[in-house]
Structures are given as C-alpha cells and as structure tokens.
Chain A
Amino acid sequence: DAKTTQPPSMDCAEGRAANLPCNHSTISGNEYVYWYRQIHSQGPQYIIHGLKNNETNEMASLIITEDRKSSTLILPHATLRDTAVYYCIVSYLHGSSNTGKLIFGQGTTLQVKP
C-alpha cells in the first residue's frame, strides 16, 4: 500500500477555508485517495475520495494533482465543529485484485479557532 505524508497539525480561522495537504508520491495507478476525519476520539467519519479528477460533496472538496502524487482536502468555510484529526489514505477500490484495506497514518490535527 502506498504511504501518505501529512503535516502533524494546522490552524484555521473560523469561517475561512481550511486546506489540508497530503503527499502520496508512491501511489499506483489503481489506488484511490480517501479522506476521513476523527472528532475527539469518536469513530472516524468518511469525508470524500477520488481517483484522478477533483471531487466535491456537501462536506468538502478534493483536489488531486495531475501526477497524482499529492492532494488537498478543502473545507470551504471551517467551523469550530470541524476541529478534528484528518486522515489521508490511499487504497485500492474493493473488488479489484487487491482488497482495498484502509491503512491509517498519523493524520493532521486541524484546530479551527474563533
């Protein structure tokens, strides 16, 4: 499984966009990029995923570079409730020749400040 590198911590002002980077320089062609977050020791929550194209849903946007070696999770208007540990994971899609197991790294602790 490809490994990811994330900054250990980041701050963001409430109401501003939070941009969380992730490096995955060894990602293979069939691996997806996933983002999860964990709020105060609760079970992790799925946010978004993508393969090549940029993706957007009601929670966030995911920007993947053209060479796929890095990505950025964007929370467009961060709130205090977005304070959490954010995990970037690369994994194969279920049903492919690999099993798509999710291996978590250390993540980025995002602190949203008033």
Chain B
Amino acid sequence: NAGVTQTPKFRILKIGQSMTLQCAQDMNHNYMYWYRQDPGMGLKLIYYSVGAGITDKGEVPNGYNVSRSTTEDFPLRLELAAPSQTSVYFCASSHSNLLGAFFGQGTRLTVV
C-alpha cells in the first residue's frame, strides 16, 4: 500500500496565483486532515473531513478551501496565494484513533 500520497513535493508560486495540493490515501480511511507547519513551529490544522461530502474548519482555515468528493482524495485549494502561506503542508488520514493517523511526506510551498 502507498499510504498517504501528497503531490507535488515542492512548488514555488507567485503572489496571487492559485494551486491545488493533492492528497490521496489508499487505506479506506474516513478521516482526513490538512496541516501546515511553519519553520520551527508545530503543526496547525487547516481543514479536516470525517467522510466523503463532509468537511470542517480547523485552526487556520482562512485562504484555503477543501472538498471531499471521494473517500480517497482530499485536495486543498489555495486561492490568491500570499507570502504568509509559505509553509510545509501535511495531509493525514485515519480510520479511527485506535490506530493513530498516517501522515504524508509533505508539500513544501514557497510563495514569492
């Protein structure tokens, strides 16, 4: 199994551009999460989903949008990129907290 796959691994955006960070999991997990991690800081929850068609805001949702049309995929959309969105973005999924959450390897995004 591939686990949680994030694409792309690296990306440079210009201010005002838009992009979608992709996240896919092949473990049939209901729960999926998006986090961002600024240099030297902990992870901040952006959005999460408890199942297909259901999403909710986390701690820092402004400037982002998500959708969950399938169990496998949970894309994160950045509209009008700003330098403050320069960060490492992690996607995670879990079936239940009895087994913990699995994280992807991250997408390193730089907005210039």
Q: Do A and B bind each other?
A: yes
Given A46-B99, A103-B59; A94-B42 close (CB under 8 Å) = no
B42 close to A45 (CB less than 8 A):
no
Q: Which residues of A contact B30 (CB under 8 A)?
A: 94
Min distance, Cβ A30 to any Cβ of chain B, angstroms: 12
Q: Which residues of B contact A36 (CB under 8 A)?
A: 100-101
B97 close to A42 (CB less than 8 A):
no
Separation of A42 and B59 alpha carbons in the complex (Å): 21
Q: Residue A102 contacts which of B88, B96, B101 (CB distance < 8 angstroms)? A: B101
Most chain B CB atoms below 10 A, which of A46, A85, A105, A107: A46
Count B-side interface residues using an 8 Å CB cutoff.
32
B58 close to A95 (CB less than 8 A):
no
Sort chain A's interface into a size bin: 20 to 34
Taking the complex as formed, is B27 at the interface, i.e. its CB lies under 8 A from any CB of chain A?
no
Q: Residue B96 contacts which of A34, A42, A93 (CB distance < 8 angstroms)? A: A93
Given A44-B103, A94-B31, A103-B59, 19 new contacts (CB under 8 A): A43-B92, A43-B104, A43-B105, A43-B106, A44-B92, A45-B103, A46-B100, A46-B102, A49-B100, A93-B97, A93-B98, A94-B96, A94-B97, A99-B31, A99-B56, A101-B33, A101-B45, A104-B42, A106-B41
- Give residues in A with beta carbon < 8 Å to B: 32, 34, 36, 41-47, 49, 85, 87, 91, 93-95, 99-107
